[in-house]
């Protein structure tokens, strides 16, 4: 069995803790590797080495750092299929979906190729007699990224690209369930010219996370995962004087108006609800048709589409629409929530609990599941299921549907399908959610905008990627300079304007 260690100072090194956790192939249910779990001492040593490497990296001019990103992007493209297979083997998502995982991360690296333009400060000459004022953006030093299992390539790339191109060193702790992709990306970065030690990949569990949060050298922490953990990391990081951007769970609603194109709405719901087995923080898990007639017609459109979905291992290629969930515990939790939906009175229209994939009976599969007549007091509505389960919550009016979204504790993404521009504009203006789709089911912004939710979906003032990422990973220094040539005045004892 393969043991996966850490990437430290440009080399693969074994763990020294003697603690490991198993890495499964979700498609087969088999253990395919063990990953080492770092001790506090291992983490602190990696940070100390990163701090030394960061000094020279920060002194490297932004354009040369951007060239490393250019070379890195080319290497990601050249290794796209290898990366996709690696993602699929540890996560279980289909190869096409895994390619998308890599591609959306690559797009952020492409923005980082233009980092010099995003790192510029401001300047005002002659702000006062002989006085110039200018600001500069400087790297924080050593920062950390703690990333989830569901996007093993994309989210590490979202973190490392802006952090590194801004001149920081990074400690990356990927999910212990999907560790291999981050290490391979680190190897590609080394090949692209990143100096050893500037990116350290340290595998671990809560002990490692707490060591990150308590290490005084680490200046900022970025996290993506569940809301309880996001709150924990944000609070502990803030208590220790660190910057933090922590992204949590979601319960994304899609409103379907009576004037919507129901074929397009149904296609959107199937893709957004069941893609990647629902293991996306931007998945649509709640459909909100307005009016009984709209709801009945929507169910009629959804049924044949859902019944055609093919579930299976990533090795089946394009013949599979989605694969397993990440672990047996996740599978059992999802099935338990489906049971609770039945027990609490929801109408189970499509039941995915008893799916059986020939030859892959031990895999972690849940079939596509559809509930109708779901109410807000049911567990399947209140909890983030993170599986291939779509709930239909019927509402009589647009205002009722809108308020359902507004009142939900999460605010990651939402969507509306309508042919009416006024309704769409009103929805986009009033809804208290960070990312909004209009006739677009998964409104993940392009990489030169920024990604982030509201309410209990996000903690911190700045979002991921785009301009916000460069603000997060740098600090502003403002310099007021005065030159005395030709200026004759005495000591100024009062606080006055420069002019």
> CB-hemisphere CA count at 13 Å for 129?
8
Task: Decide if 174 contacts 90 (C-beta within 8 A).
Answer: no
Task: Decide if 287 contacts 256 (C-beta within 8 A).
Answer: yes
Number of neighbours of residue 361 by Cβ within 10 angstroms: 10
Distances (CA, A) of 388 to 50, 208, 453, 457: 40, 31, 22, 20
d(C-alpha 152, C-alpha 204), whole Å: 15
Secondary structure (DSSP) of 59-98: HS-HHHHHHHHHHHHHHHHHTHHHHHHHHHHHH---HHHH
DSSP 317: G
d(C-alpha 82, C-alpha 77), whole Å: 10
The phi and psi torsions of 169 (rounded to 5 degrees) equal -100, 155
Helical axes 62-78 vs 80-91, angle rounded to 10°: 70
Report the DSSP beta bridge partners of residue 136: 477
Secondary structure (DSSP) of 396-425: SSHHHHHHHHHHSSEESEEEEE-S-HHHHH
SS3 318: helix
Nearest to 169 by CA among 219, 244, 110: 219
Report the DSSP beta bridge partners of residue 35: 4, 21
Do you know the residue count of the chain? 499
* Tokens matching residue 341: 């939906």
- Give the list of residues 6+ apart from residue 364 with CB closer than 8 angstroms, or none: 24, 26, 29, 92, 324, 325, 326, 327, 328, 330, 331
Catalytic residue among 281, 287, 402, 424: 281
* Tokens matching residue 397: 């009016």
Task: Decide if 287 contacts 271 (C-beta within 8 A).
Answer: no
Confirm whether 112 is a catalytic residue.
Answer: no
Q: What is the helix, strand, coil percentage profile of the chain, to 5?
A: 40, 25, 35
Chain centre to alpha carbon of residue 347: 32
The residues annotated as belonging to the active site are 281
């Amino acid at each position: 069995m393969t043991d996966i260690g850490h990437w430290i100072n440009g080399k693969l090194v074994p763990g020294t803790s003697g603690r490991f956790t198993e890495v499964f192939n979700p498609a087969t249910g088999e253990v395919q590797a063990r990953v080492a779990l770092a001790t506090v001492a291992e983490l602190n040593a990696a940070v100390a080495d990163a701090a030394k490497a960061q000094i020279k990296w920060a002194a490297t001019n932004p354009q040369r750092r951007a060239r490393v990103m250019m070379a890195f992007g080319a290497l990601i493209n050249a290794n796209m299929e290898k990366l996709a297979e690696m993602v699929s083997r540890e996560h279980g998502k289909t190869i096409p979906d895994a390619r998308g995982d890599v591609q959306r991360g690559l797009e952020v690296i492409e923005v980082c190729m233009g980092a010099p333009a995003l790192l510029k400060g401001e300047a005002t000459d002659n702000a006062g007699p002989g006085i110039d004022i200018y600001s500069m953006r400087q790297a924080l030093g050593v920062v950390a990224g703690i990333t989830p299992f569901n996007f093993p390539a994309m989210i590490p790339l979202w973190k490392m690209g802006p952090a590194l191109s801004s001149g920081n060193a990074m400690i990356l702790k990927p999910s212990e369930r999907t560790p291999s992709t981050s290490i391979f990306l680190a190897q590609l970065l080394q090949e692209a010219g990143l100096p050893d030690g500037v990116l350290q990949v340290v595998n671990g569990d809560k002990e490692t996370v707490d060591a990150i949060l308590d290490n005084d050298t680490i200046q900022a922490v970025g996290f993506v995962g569940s809301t309880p953990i996001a709150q924990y990391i944000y609070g502990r990081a803030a208590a220790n004087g660190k910057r933090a951007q922590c992204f949590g769970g979601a319960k994304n609603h899609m409103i379907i108006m009576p004037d919507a194109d129901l074929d397009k709405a149904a296609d959107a719901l199937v893709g957004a609800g069941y893609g990647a087995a629902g293991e996306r923080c931007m998945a649509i898990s709640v459909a909100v048709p307005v009016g009984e007639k709209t709801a009945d017609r929507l169910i009629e459109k959804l049924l044949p589409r859902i019944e055609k979905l093919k579930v299976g291992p990533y090795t089946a290629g394009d013949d599979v629409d989605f694969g397993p969930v990440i672990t047996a515990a996740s599978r059992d939790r999802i099935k338990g929530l489906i049971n609770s939906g039945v027990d609490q009175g929801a109408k189970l229209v499509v039941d995915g609990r008893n799916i059986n994939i020939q030859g892959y009976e031990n895999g972690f599969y849940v079939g596509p599941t559809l509930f109708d007549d779901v109410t807000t007091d049911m567990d399947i509505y209140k909890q983030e299921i993170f599986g291939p389960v779509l709930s239909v919550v019927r509402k009589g009016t647009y205002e009722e549907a809108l308020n359902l979204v507004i009142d939900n504790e999460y605010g990651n993404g939402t969507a509306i399908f309508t042919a009416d521009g006024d309704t769409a504009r009103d929805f986009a203006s009033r809804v208290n959610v960070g990312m909004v789709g209009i006739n677009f089911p998964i409104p993940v912004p392009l990489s030169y905008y920024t990604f982030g939710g509201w309410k209990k979906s996000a903690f911190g003032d700045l979002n991921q990627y785009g301009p916000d990422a460069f603000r997060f990973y740098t600090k502003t220094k403002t310099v007021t300079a005065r030159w005395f040539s030709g200026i004759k005045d005495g000591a100024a004892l009062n606080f006055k304007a420069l002019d």
